[in-house]
Amino acid sequence: MSSEKLRLGIDLGGTKIEIIALARDGRELLRRRIATPDEDYRAILEGVADLVAQAERELGARGSVGIGTPGSISRATGLLRGSNSVCLNGKPIKADFETVLGREVRISNDANCFALSEACDGAAKGADVVFGAILGTGVGGGIVVGGNVLVGPNGIAGEWGHNPLPWPTDDERPGPQCFCGHSGCIETFLSGPGLERDYFSATRRRLSSVDIVAKAEGGDAAAEQAMQRYEQRLARALAHMINILDPDTIVLGGGMSNVRRLYDAVPALWSEWVFSDRVDTSLVWNTHGDSSGVRGAAWLWPDAG
Ligand SMILES: [Zn+2]
């Protein structure tokens, strides 16, 4: 059925459920949020159905529905896994949302939605191959090619955070222990907590990542050294990704993406590890910030409207 006049996006998170309605040109028509019903699967399904029904009533049109959520749907079983809303794990959420909404829905994880949002009408608009890298409390990522999320048979395309930090120096081996069971994962160095741990191990002082960045800006030598180590590690990790994917544009998201110096410092370093005589990949700050998840969910239906 091609009667959809709107793109509706749902960001289904552990604490809130947000809905956005986008017009065909990406204009935001409506946005609303509710608290996520506490570990009550049926109430979550109904909460989403109510948000969609209200939006459509208000806007007087039917929408396509895309849903972004942490975790991934197993292609083998159709069941969600790895969500921080534990009651969603092990549930056939796509089939169940399709039942309560009475239409086909598309579901992708939040990192993929971030990459898709920036590729469709954000900082990577017009780029063919986009790597969206999240540098937050964790490190994740998603890949968009030609306006579509690259999924892959395991549903993990772009998930670079638990690869090892490439070209490690002796003092980076084996690296910090990671929750995933390995040591020296990219996430243990490039997440916000990773920067804090690195600063602590050099100074024995505990500071938040925001304070480390501010201290470096103010000329503090130890903070500046931590930032330079961070930039050099990010350059190596992204060079490794460039050697595999060769993206046109890399967009950064998550809390560490707000560190403006990264966008000059990292491309000035990464050519040392990129296997090419020149690097034309651009590294850019995201446009939509915290809205990328819900916007990207709406863009899971690129041809709707
Ligand atoms: Zn790990």
pLDDT of residue 304: 63
Cα 190 to averaged position of ligand 1 atoms, centre (Å): 11
Give distance in angstroms: CA of 25 to centre of ligand 1: 39
Task: Report how far ligand 1's centroid is from the alpha carbon of 82 (Å).
Answer: 14
3-state class of 250 per DSSP?
Answer: strand
Closest CA to 116 of 266, 294, 273, 261: 294
Give me the pLDDT at residue 85, please: 76
> Measured between alpha carbons, how far is 5 from 192 in angstroms, rounded to an integer?
40
Distance 158 CA to ligand 1 centre (A): 14
- Residues 40-51 have pLDDT tens digits of 999 999 999 999
The average pLDDT across 11-37 equals: 92
Ligand 1 centre distance from Cα of residue 27 (Å)? 38
Residue with tokens 């690296």: 175
**DSSP state at residue 36:** P
How confident is the model over 2-13, as pLDDT tens digits?
455 799 999 998
pLDDT digits (tens, 9 = 90+) for 155-165: 889 999 999 99
Q: In whole angstroms, how large is the CA radius of gyration of the chain?
A: 20
The predicted model gives 132-142 an average pLDDT of 95
H-type alpha helices, 12-145: 41-59, 93-101, 110-121
How many Å lie between the centroid of ligand 1 and the Cα of residue 122?
29
Per-residue pLDDT, 2: 40
pTM for the structure as a whole: 0.92
Beta carbons within 10 angstroms of residue 57's beta carbon: 9
Q: What residues have a C-beta under 5 A from ligand 1, the ion?
A: 162, 178, 180, 182, 185
CA of 179 to the centre of ligand 1 (A): 6
- For residue 35, report the distance from its CA to the centre of ligand 1, in Å: 30
Measured distance CA(39)–CA(54) in Å, rounded = 23
Counting residues of the chain whose pLDDT is more than 70, the rounded percentage is: 98
CA of 161 to the centre of ligand 1 (A): 7
221-245 helix and 209-217 helix, angle to the nearest 10 degrees:
110
For 116-130, the pLDDT digits (tens) are 999 999 999 999 999
